């Protein structure tokens, strides 16, 4: 049996599940929050922990699964938060905030107990390895002689000023990963942003720590998805469009970027596989910048998107992931 942890049945996950069905595989999904106003599955779960053969029961529909029947776990994503349906003003009240924090910590404890009881299973991605942050990735990549952009963690205006004197153009990024932010009815996306000396005019003397990298003038970038010891790569010609040249995720739907299948050079392929082994990852999406003959490693997302690589390049990754999960289930 394949156990799937996911946030919701987003299109790529749904297509993999459809392929598992078509190929005769067996699966059981534990879903986190669907959307505001609907209960998340973590609050509708009953786990029997009193014997050696613990079981998981979803109260809604009374679907049960014994741990002994689980062979493979696909950790797609699992967002744990509490949906008390509070307004922004209500959330800011201390009692409501404390209640939410307590309930969320209880859900996390329940989820971690499930992970602990399933540690001996085969995991395609794992919540522990999925938490590896960008700084750790860059440090390990550098030790493996993979080229990475010069990187700084900045916590003062003076520090940034000194760096900008040497590198007048920098890329501003989160330390861990891009995460959408919602405030009341407003929703904000985060993107990589170019900053120059005039950015200092908008900065506090002692800002919250943030990450900057030297700006690399690229020829194109590469998104490469790794599964079953193989890379499936796509070149993205994002520099041809002013809207996407810094961050291709600022999609231009009217004039979309040209995306083509791409083969990594053998030495880059081997170095990246060493990196994934060091990070204890058996899947993930890697982002690279290519400038001349240099390949710059940016990051690996252990649960990264693969549909955006699969469709333009005809890689059929949804089917390949389903086949890999079924192969491990039958091993």
Residue 219: φ, ψ to 5° = -85, -40
305's CB contacts (< 8 A; 6+ apart) are 12, 285
Asked if pLDDT for residue 84 goes beyond 60, the answer is: no
Task: Name which of 237, 268, 259 is nearest 308 in CA terms.
Answer: 259
> Using 50, 70 and 90 to split pLDDT, how confident is the model at 51?
low
Question: What mean pLDDT is predicted for residues 178-205?
Answer: 75
- Centre a 10 Å sphere on the Cβ of residue 15 and count the other Cβ atoms it contains: 18
Question: What mean pLDDT is predicted for residues 4-8?
Answer: 81
At residue 210, the pLDDT reads 86
Topology of domain 218-301, CATH: D-amino Acid Aminotransferase; Chain A, domain 1 (3.30.470)
Q: Looking at 21-120, which runs of residues are DSSP E strands? A: 27-31, 45-48, 55-58, 63-66, 72-75
- Average of per-residue pLDDT values in the chain: 82
pLDDT single digits (tens) 262-297: 999 999 999 999 999 999 999 999 999 999 999 999
Asked if pLDDT for residue 35 goes beyond 50, the answer is: no
Question: What mean pLDDT is predicted for residues 92-121?
Answer: 77
Pairing of strands 170-173, 210-214: antiparallel
Q: Please state which architecture CATH assigns to domain 2-129.
A: 3-Layer(aba) Sandwich (3.40)
At residue 90, the pLDDT reads 53
Question: What mean pLDDT is predicted for residues 116-142?
Answer: 89
Higher pLDDT, 324 or 178: 324
Task: Name which of 78, 95, 63, 80 is nearest 6 in CA terms.
Answer: 78
At residue 245, the pLDDT reads 65
Residue 126 to residue 330: CA distance in whole angstroms? 20
pLDDT single digits (tens) 317-328: 999 999 999 999
Residue 288 to residue 225: CA distance in whole angstroms? 11
* Residue 327, phi-psi category: left (phi > 0), alpha (psi -120 to 50), beta (remainder): alpha
Min mean pLDDT across 107-111, 133-137, 261-265 is at 107-111
- Cβ–Cβ under 8 Å, residues 62 and 68: no
Higher pLDDT, 171 or 83: 171
Asked if pLDDT for residue 239 goes beyond 70, the answer is: yes
Task: Name which of 331, 330, 307, 329 is nearest 74 in CA terms.
Answer: 329
What are the sequence ranges of the domains in the chain?
2-129, 150-214, 218-301
Min mean pLDDT across 43-57, 80-94, 240-254 is at 80-94
At residue 178, the pLDDT reads 67
Asked if pLDDT for residue 39 goes beyond 60, the answer is: no
Question: What mean pLDDT is predicted for residues 36-65?
Answer: 60
Residue 119 to residue 103: CA distance in whole angstroms? 25
3-state secondary structure of 20: helix
Q: Same CATH fold, 218-301 and 2-129?
A: no
Tokens of 283: 């899947």
Residue 122 to residue 232: CA distance in whole angstroms? 22
> How many percent of the chain have pLDDT more than 90?
41
331's CB contacts (< 8 A; 6+ apart) are 71, 122
> Using 50, 70 and 90 to split pLDDT, how confident is the model at 249?
low
Asked if pLDDT for residue 55 goes beyond 80, the answer is: no
Question: What mean pLDDT is predicted for residues 302-309?
Answer: 87
Higher pLDDT, 28 or 191: 28
Question: What mean pLDDT is predicted for residues 47-72?
Answer: 71
> Using 50, 70 and 90 to split pLDDT, how confident is the model at 37?
very low
Dihedral over Cα of 245, 251, 255, 261: its sign: positive
Q: Which residues of 48-78 are buried (b: 16+ CB within 10 A; e: fewer)?
A: eeeeeebebbbeeeeeebebeebbbbbbbbb
CA distances from 254 to 69, 187, 221, 251, 324 (A): 48, 23, 20, 9, 36
The DSSP H or E segment spanning 286 is strand 283-291
Residue 62 to residue 66: CA distance in whole angstroms? 13
Asked if pLDDT for residue 38 goes beyond 50, the answer is: no
- Cβ–Cβ under 8 Å, residues 125 and 303: yes
């Amino acid at each position: 049996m394949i156990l799937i942890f996911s946030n919701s049945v987003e299109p790529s996950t749904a297509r993999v599940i459809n392929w598992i069905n078509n190929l005769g595989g067996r699966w059981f999904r534990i879903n986190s929050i669907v959307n505001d106003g609907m209960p998340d599955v973590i609050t509708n779960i009953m786990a029997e922990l009193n014997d050696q053969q613990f079981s998981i029961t979803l109260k809604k529909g009374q679907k049960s699964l014994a741990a002994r029947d689980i062979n493979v776990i696909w950790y797609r994503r699992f967002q744990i938060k509490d949906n008390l349906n509070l307004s922004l003003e209500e959330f800011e009240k201390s009692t409501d905030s404390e209640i939410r924090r307590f309930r969320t910590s209880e859900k996390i404890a329940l989820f971690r107990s499930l992970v602990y009881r399933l540690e001996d299973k085969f995991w395609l991605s794992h919540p522990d390895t999925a938490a590896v942050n960008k700084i750790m990735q860059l440090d390990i990549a550098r030790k493996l002689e993979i080229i990475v952009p010069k990187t700084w963690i900045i916590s003062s205006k003076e520090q940034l000023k000194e760096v900008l004197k040497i590198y007048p153009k920098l890329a501003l990024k989160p330390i861990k990963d891009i995460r959408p932010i919602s405030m009341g009815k407003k929703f904000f996306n985060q993107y990589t942003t170019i900053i120059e000396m005039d950015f200092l005019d908008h900065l506090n003397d002692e800002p919250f720590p943030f990450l900057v990298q030297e700006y690399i003038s690229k020829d194109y970038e590469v998104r490469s998805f790794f599964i079953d010891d193989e890379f499936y790569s796509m070149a993205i010609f994002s520099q041809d469009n002013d809207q996407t040249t810094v961050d291709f995720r600022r999609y231009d739907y009217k004039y979309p970027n040209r995306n083509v299948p791409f083969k990594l050079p053998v030495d880059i392929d081997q170095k990246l596989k060493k990196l994934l082994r060091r990070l204890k990852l058996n899947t993930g999406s890697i982002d690279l910048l290519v400038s001349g003959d240099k390949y710059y490693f940016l990051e690996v997302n252990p649960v990264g998107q693969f549909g955006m690589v699969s469709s333009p390049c005809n890689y059929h990754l949804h089917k390949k992931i389903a086949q890999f999960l079924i192969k491990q289930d039958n091993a």
